Structure 1
Amino acid sequence: MANMDLKSGSEARFLQIHELEELRNHAYESSSRYKERVKRLHDKRLRDHKNFRVGDVVLLYNSRLRLFLVKLKSRWMGPHTVKEIFSYGAVIIEDSNVVNFKVSGHRLKVYINGPVDSWWR
């Protein structure tokens, strides 16, 4: 009788372990599909907003601001005007002082009317 309980207990434990493994595999697959879907939506949104044209008004991301403890200041400088676009995402922009410089298109975003902090000037 004790041998029978031990055998049925081991079979039950074996089934529990395999059921747990199936649940883990299902969760892993579900997580992978979700991550792929989110990445696809994120990439689609990035590409839609990064198509600049000459004459567009844009804001430039200020990466140096991270070094300072300025929490409430905007990290975007501008507005700037797009003067020239190169392959691989490089863009020449012009600021209000008619100074041109080349930046990566990843550091730019389209400017929508409104005030911009001018603390860097």
Structure 2
Amino acid sequence: MLNLNIDKAQAKRVVDLHELEEIRLDAYESSKIYKERTKAFHDKKIVVKELKSGDQVLLFNSRLKLFPGKLKSRWSGPFEIKEVLPYGSVTLLNKDGSEFTVNGQRVKKYLADQKIPEGSSVPLCDPPKA
């Protein structure tokens, strides 16, 4: 049952190669669409931090994972921001005036010293979604 007609075998081989190329292009396109949708979902969840010099921030202590204490906070501070550097780095001032640079993802705003204007109310939880 061998096909000894070389022209028919060559034509079938060319058609098979074209079909294989189409399948590969479809897989590539599907992968590209998946990556775009995953990136859009991830970017939607990112919360932008508005940090500027003079703000008070808390610093996350990642070393505490080695010796965890049940009630010990992983956040230390507050520290004052001296400068916000490009690409997310932040220069902080310690209470004694020394400065050090950390990744901006390790800090969050310190809200305890903020003044609330009189007559305004602060919600304790988010309003229910309709």
Q: Note whether the superposition's TM-score is higher than 0.5.
A: yes
Deviations 1:91-119 (A, max 9, x none): 110121211101110110000107xxxxx
Relative contact order: is structure 1 or structure 2 higher (C-alpha 8 Å, sep ≥ 6)? 1
Give the aligned length. 79
Q: TM-score, normalised by structure 1?
A: 0.57
User: What is the CA RMSD across the aligned residues, in angstroms?
Assistant: 2.2
Identity %: 38
Residue aligned with 2:69, SS: coil
Residue number among 30, 40, 44 corresponding to 1:41 in the alignment: 44
Task: Structure 1: state its 5+ residue gaps.
Answer: 1-31, 115-121
The structure carrying a bigger helix percent of its residues is 1
Whichever of the two has the greater Rg, that structure is: 2
Residue of structure 1 equivalent to 2:95? 96
In the alignment, the residues of structure 1 paired with residue 99 and residue 57 of structure 2 have an alpha-carbon distance, to the nearest angstrom, of 13
In the alignment, the residues of structure 1 paired with residue 51 and residue 93 of structure 2 have an alpha-carbon distance, to the nearest angstrom, of 14
Task: Structure 2: state its 5+ residue gaps.
Answer: 1-33, 114-130
Q: Which amino acid aligns with 2:95?
A: S
Offset at residue 59 of structure 1 (A): 0.4
